Amino acid sequence: MKRSSVAGLLLAAGRGARLGTPKALVEYEGERLVDRGVRLLETGGCHPVVVVLGAATVPVRGAVVVRNPGWRAGMGSSLRVGLAALPPDAAAVVVALVDQPFVTPAAVAALIASGGEVAVATYGGSRRNPVLFGRDHFAEVAGLAVGDVGARPFLKAYPELITDVPCDGLGSPADIDTPEDLELLKGPN
């Protein structure tokens, strides 16, 4: 798969109920998480990058921004909206989540380099995000993406398609769900 034919999709529509603010707007090391996510995907080899927003609508440089009017229904609706917004020449997409600031471009590049039609980053042997899907699977992924589970139903239904891509040493899948998580990620002052 050519690097230039892989799009990036950043899911950033949620309101961050437990955090108290939309995660897209949270700043970490002087950068909004949404901007950090766009940079992650671009640097990792994705073009274009599509960002799905919902609870907060803000300009995002370097990305195609689409609004998910049904963002309250959960991540599944954002995944469907994002997949529908991808350009027709995208052979694959790497899907990332806005609340994982320690995923690195090297992990994205490893997914692309794997050559898998469905590739999942693993950390310590556990499947996490980001995830790559080849175009042939977009419709099925979208069809199974309901509620707040995103691509999980597709991955469960088709385990034989998955290429696990070890990303230990290429960052961390730690996410930010609560104010305490954010404080832990920032470290001691």
**CATH number for the domain whose boundaries are 3-186:** 3.90.550.10
- Whether the predicted pLDDT of 188 surpasses 60: no
Q: What is the DSSP letter of 123?
A: E
Average model confidence (pLDDT) across the chain: 91
CA 29 to chain centre: 20
pTM: 0.93
CA–CA separation, 24 vs 16, rounded Å? 9
Q: Is pLDDT larger for residue 131 or for residue 22?
A: 131
Segment holding 185, helix H or strand E: helix 179-186
For residues 110-129, average pLDDT: 96
pLDDT of 180: 81
pLDDT of 2: 44
Other CB atoms within a 10 A radius of the CB of residue 35 amount to 20
Strands (E), the chain: 6-12, 27-28, 31-32, 49-53, 64-67, 92-97, 118-123, 126-134, 162-166
CA–CA separation, 24 vs 66, rounded Å? 13
CA–CA separation, 82 vs 10, rounded Å? 8
Q: Which of 76-80, 148-152, 157-161 has the lowest mean pLDDT?
A: 148-152
Q: Is pLDDT larger for residue 24 or for residue 86?
A: 86
CA separation, residue 127 to residues 106, 148, 165 (Å): 16, 17, 9
Q: What is the pLDDT of residues 71-113, one digit of tens each?
A: 999 999 999 999 999 999 999 999 999 999 999 999 999 999 9
CA–CA separation, 95 vs 51, rounded Å? 10
pLDDT of 96: 97
CA–CA separation, 9 vs 35, rounded Å? 13
CA separation, residue 16 to residues 19, 56, 177, 180, 181 (Å): 5, 10, 7, 13, 12
pLDDT of 4: 47
CA–CA separation, 35 vs 125, rounded Å? 28
Q: What percent of the chain lies above the pLDDT cut of 70? A: 95
Q: Is pLDDT larger for residue 27 or for residue 130?
A: 130
pLDDT of 1: 44
76, 145 in Cβ contact below 8 A?
yes
Any idea where the domains of the chain sit in the sequence?
3-186
